[in-house]
Structure 1
Amino acid sequence: MTEATHTAAYKIGTPGKPWGAQEKAEWLAEQKIQRSYADDVLQKIKGFEKDFSIEQYASLEYEQHGAKRYPLFIVKNRDWDNKKPTVLVTGGVHGYETSGVHGALRFIETQALQYAKDFNILVVPCISPWGYETINRWTPLAVDPNRSFVVDSPAEEAASVMAYLAIKDIKPDAHIDLHETTDTDNSEFRPALAARDGITNSNWNIPDGFYLVGDSENLQPEFQKAVLQSVSQVTHIAEADEQGQLIGAKTDMPGLISFPTKKLGLCIGLSDAAYVTTTEVYPDSAKATAEECIQAQVAAVTGALNFLQTALR
């Protein structure tokens, strides 16, 4: 695992002083389009039209930020039945976390139909398309969507999903949110966060392997174990460091840490779902390929669903 380090001052801003409009504009000017949401995501979603209902739930009007308009889509099973449990799968809350997006798409492509007989399946493959295209954690306003699933959200990406669920009166019974922990968390994103907020940065030990983040106020350990067991058939589970921690948090069990998700505005805290978990894949591992990372995300979702077939019966 990558050792924790204290890093030098970030390239933007003054150490100890939070960013203002000028620093945020300077940061935004450095961001560049590096891949295509239309080609990588929208084209695949279009291919699901035969078997699934596809709804545009919002669009991000980012022309004013030098970007473009991004239509946002949800994929759901056609035979929606309010008597069945509802499972929400989200990807790309942090757009740079590639296997989260492609794991959600792969799940739809290969697994979702077989589970639709028991569940209402609702998948949001890429919540943050600007972040996907620029390989970025934040929105153009330097806001972290995965701290923004709150009332009066500062991130349209988060607000749009919550608004859709509220308007449609959808109350998920379970929610699996697909993420990655990467080496760039230490080399770029945590230093940028510290600079933005005017605080001192201390990097994490980055775990080598897959782990989960649960809700500390409703942990559901048997559910988390089922997800980890499923993923362990595909890739290795991260081991805790010498302090018994993953990313600076004490483990609740091997491969699992937890936080108060609603208080922190995390995506899995957006509803009152009984069963929630956030996946964390490590794509920079020498022991895992990009394809294995995608498969691990799919295994996390199917492991959750297999458990829920009994738990929610």
Structure 2
Amino acid sequence: MPATDELPSNDAGRSFFEARLTGGGTSGGGFSGVPFKRMFLVPALVLGLAELIFIAYPLWIAFDLSGLGSDTLLRTAVPVAIGAVVVWLASITAWVMPLWSAVLARRRGERVHKELTARAYRITINGPIRVLLLRTGLWSGAAVLTGMFLHVFRDWPIERVAEITALASVHAYILGCARAVWCAQILGEMRARLFAAGSPLKRFADSHFRRFMLVSMIVAGGVLAAQAAFAYYFVPITFGQYLQFETYVAVAGLFGVVLWVVLARVITRGLRRYLAAAVSRGEAVENAPAAAVIYR
């Protein structure tokens, strides 16, 4: 298991929330300076509007969804959209609730349970990638379900279903990268304020692989955005050919990201073992490499 999946030790778990933020004492007054709701509400509104402009509107125009009629859309797209919103809200609530509960407990001057501390700490590390993958998956799933409904009710060819799914996936992934960056900034600030205790080595061991993967995924999103813009504006092809091109690009992008995750875990295996040994406080770690090997 990577170091990011390891729970803080007993001492670390007790000490994470002992740090003071703005001079607050045991009453937790310092935690009143954490604008929890506002920090998450603004990105949700801004990026939600951006998704309507850069995902929903292009799909509406590209596939002439307005020509389907309101009755068809009410029976297909609307239920799918409602289901996606419910899944998103339920997932975000489940992920963020430990962090919110920990902040509330400290504001009231209560002791935070070690397990709750560990869960809150992990979400500040894993949150950005989870948000990126979930948001992209929801748009992809919504597109494929809507396309399949239209395949049944309006005789859409299966190729058209693949095209709407691919276009939604590419656009959603690109905007998902922006959402992940914003989320990483927010959670990183909260982690620095709420979990200030602990050694820098431990914090690096916990977060380095997730941060490495997040940067790689964002770079992939930038590449997808660049090639999509170049193909659309500068390559002399028809719009139908562009949709076919994006279908293959989406599949290739998914394959590339999955392959890179596997390779990254293999490449960084020695580093993760070394860090696990370095922060284990004298406990033996099997097959941990020497420091010289990691340095090279």
Larger RCO (CA within 8 A; separation ≥ 6): 2
Question: Counting helix residues as a fraction of each chain, which structure ranks higher?
Answer: 2
TM over 0.5: no
TM-score by length of 1: 0.28
- The structure with more strand, counted as a fraction of residues: 1
